[in-house]
C-alpha cells in the first residue's frame, strides 16, 4: 500500500543496502537486440525497481503495472515506485495498490527500469543514478541516456514494448496484464484516434482482448469516470479559447484550478478540445502552475512536427503531441510559443 512521502533528498543512509554491483561498469547503450539484452539483465538479477515519469499518465501506469507482473512471472521481485499519486481513473487497474509513493529510491536493486522517461530526472525520484538503468521509451525526443536503451518511435505506447518483452520472455499474457496493456493503447491514442496508429495497433488490441482485457469496462473506468473538478476546469479553459487562423489556444490560471478544486490530472486532454475545430492545425493549452511557471501542452493534427517546437523550449514528446514548461506570466509564454508554430504552419503550406 501507499507509504507516506519521504523527504526530498536522500542522504547517505547507513541502513540502506548498497546499489547493485551486478552490472556495474558495463555499458550496453543501444544493443542490436534490445529485447534480448533486457531479458538477459532480467535473467541475471533478482530485484528490480520499476518507475515511469512523474505525473504518470495511462501509458506510464499501465506499462509499470504490466512490467511488474512480467517480472513476478519470471520469479523476480519488482517494486513499483512513483513520486506522485496515481490519477483516480487508473486506480482500478489490477495491482494498482502495489505501487509505492516516495520521493527517493532506496534499497538494493539489480537494475531500475524507467518507462517513457527521456532522462533520469523525468522520474522525479532521487537516488536512481545509483542503479544500473534500463530506458524503454517511444518518444521521438527520447535519448540513449541509460546503461541500456530501447527506444522505438513507432510503438503506439510503451505498453506495446512491454507486450513485446512479455512475448519474447515466454511469459503468459494474463487477463490482468492485458487490462493494463490495453489501457496504455487506449490512452496513448486518445481512444484510437491519434498516434502511430496502424494495423498492428489493432492486432495488438485484438490480442489483448483475446487475453481477457474488457474494452468497454476499461473505457468506462478510464474515459467515463472523471471527477466533477475535471469538467469545471474544462469549462474554465473553454471560456478562454482563442483562435488565430490555424492555431487555437486556451488557458487556465492557478486561481481557476483552486476554485475548481482541480488536480493536475484534471488538465489531461483539455488541449484536444482546441484541436478539434475545423481548419485548426495546431492547438496549445497553457496552465499556470502555483509557482507561476506555465506548463504547456502542444498538439498538431499532422501538418507540423510539434515536438521540435517543444524541444526549442526544453520540452519534448511526440511528433504530434508534446509539452514544455516556460516562465510566466501567461501572456509572455503565449507570445513566445505562438510565433514558431505560426512559422511552422506557414512553412508547411509554402515550403
C-alpha cell at 134: 534500463
Q: Name the residue with cell 489501457.
A: 183
SS3 64: helix
The answer to the question of residue 160 lying near Mn ion (CB under 5 A) is no
The answer to the question of residue 256 lying near Mn ion (CB under 5 A) is no
Please give the residue whose beta carbon sits closest to Mn ion in the complex. Answer: 59
Task: For Mn ion, give the closer residue by CB, 123 or 333.
Answer: 123
- Closest alpha carbon to 80 in 7, 155, 162, 11: 162
Q: How many residues bind Mn ion (CB under 5 A)?
A: 4
Task: For Mn ion, give the closer residue by CB, 44 or 153.
Answer: 153
User: Of residues 52-81, which lie at the interface with Mn ion (CB under 5 A)?
Assistant: 59
The answer to the question of residue 288 lying near Mn ion (CB under 5 A) is no
The answer to the question of residue 319 lying near Mn ion (CB under 5 A) is no
User: Of residues 88-127, which lie at the interface with Mn ion (CB under 5 A)?
Assistant: 116
Task: For Mn ion, give the closer residue by CB, 60 or 260.
Answer: 60
The answer to the question of residue 188 lying near Mn ion (CB under 5 A) is yes
Q: How far is residue 317's CA from residue 153's CA, in Å, rounded to a whole number? A: 10
E-strand spans in the chain? Answer: 47-52, 77-82, 99-101, 111-115, 133-137, 148-151, 242-244, 247-252, 282-288, 294-300, 316-317, 321-326
CB of 247 to Mn ion, least distance (A): 25
Q: How far is residue 258's CA from residue 298's CA, in Å, rounded to a whole number? A: 23
Cα 174 to Cα 80, 166, 171: the distances in Å are 19, 10, 9
Q: Name the residue with cell 558495463.
A: 26
The answer to the question of residue 268 lying near Mn ion (CB under 5 A) is no
Residue 55 has a CB neighbour count (10 Å cut-off) of 18
CB of 255 to Mn ion, least distance (A): 31
CB of 156 to Mn ion, least distance (A): 8
CB of 318 to Mn ion, least distance (A): 8
The answer to the question of residue 137 lying near Mn ion (CB under 5 A) is no
Binding site for Mn ion (CB under 5 A): 59, 116, 157, 188
Amino acid at each position: 500500500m501507499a507509504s507516506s512521502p519521504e523527504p526530498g533528498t536522500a542522504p547517505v543512509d547507513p541502513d540502506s543496502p548498497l546499489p547493485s554491483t551486478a552490472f556495474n561498469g558495463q555499458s550496453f547503450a543501444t544493443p542490436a537486440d534490445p529485447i534480448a539484452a533486457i531479458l538477459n539483465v532480467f535473467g541475471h538479477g533478482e530485484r528490480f525497481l520499476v518507475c515511469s515519469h512523474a505525473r504518470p499518465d495511462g501509458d506510464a501506469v499501465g506499462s509499470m503495472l504490466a512490467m511488474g507482473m512480467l517480472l513476478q512471472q519470471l520469479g523476480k521481485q519488482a517494486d513499483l515506485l512513483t513520486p506522485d499519486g496515481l490519477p483516480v481513473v487508473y486506480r482500478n487497474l489490477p495491482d494498482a495498490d502495489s505501487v509505492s509513493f516516495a520521493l527517493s529510491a532506496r534499497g538494493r536493486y539489480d537494475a531500475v527500469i524507467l518507462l517513457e522517461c527521456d532522462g533520469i530526472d523525468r522520474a522525479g525520484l532521487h537516488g536512481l543514478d545509483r542503479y544500473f538503468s534500463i530506458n524503454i521509451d517511444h518518444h521521438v525526443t527520447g535519448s540513449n541516456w541509460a546503461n541500456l536503451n530501447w527506444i522505438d518511435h513507432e510503438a503506439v505506447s510503451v505498453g506495446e514494448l512491454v507486450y513485446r518483452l512479455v512475448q519474447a520472455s515466454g511469459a503468459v499474457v494474463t487477463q490482468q496484464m492485458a487490462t493494463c496493456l490495453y489501457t496504455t493503447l487506449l490512452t496513448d491514442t486518445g481512444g484510437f484516434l491519434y498516434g502511430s496508429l496502424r494495423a498492428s495497433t489493432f492486432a495488438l488490441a485484438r490480442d489483448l482482448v483475446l487475453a481477457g482485457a474488457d474494452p468497454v469496462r476499461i473505457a468506462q473506468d478510464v474515459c467515463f469516470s472523471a471527477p466533477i473538478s475535471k469538467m469545471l476546469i474544462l469549462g474554465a479553459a473553454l471560456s478562454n479559447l482563442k483562435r488565430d487562423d490555424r492555431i487555437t489556444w486556451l488557458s487556465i490560471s492557478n486561481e481557476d484550478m483552486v476554485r475548481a478544486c482541480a488536480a493536475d490530472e484534471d488538465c489531461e486532454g483539455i488541449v484536444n478540445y482546441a484541436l478539434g475545430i475545423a481548419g485548426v492545425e495546431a492547438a496549445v493549452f497553457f496552465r499556470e502552475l502555483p509557482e507561476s511557471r506555465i506548463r504547456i501542452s502542444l498538439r498538431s493534427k499532422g501538418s507540423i512536427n510539434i515536438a521540435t517546437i517543444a524541444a526549442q523550449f526544453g520540452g519534448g514528446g511526440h511528433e504530434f503531441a508534446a509539452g514544455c514548461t516556460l516562465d510566466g506570466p501567461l501572456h509572455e509564454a503565449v507570445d513566445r510559443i505562438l510565433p514558431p508554430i505560426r512559422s511552422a504552419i506557414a512553412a508547411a503550406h509554402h515550403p
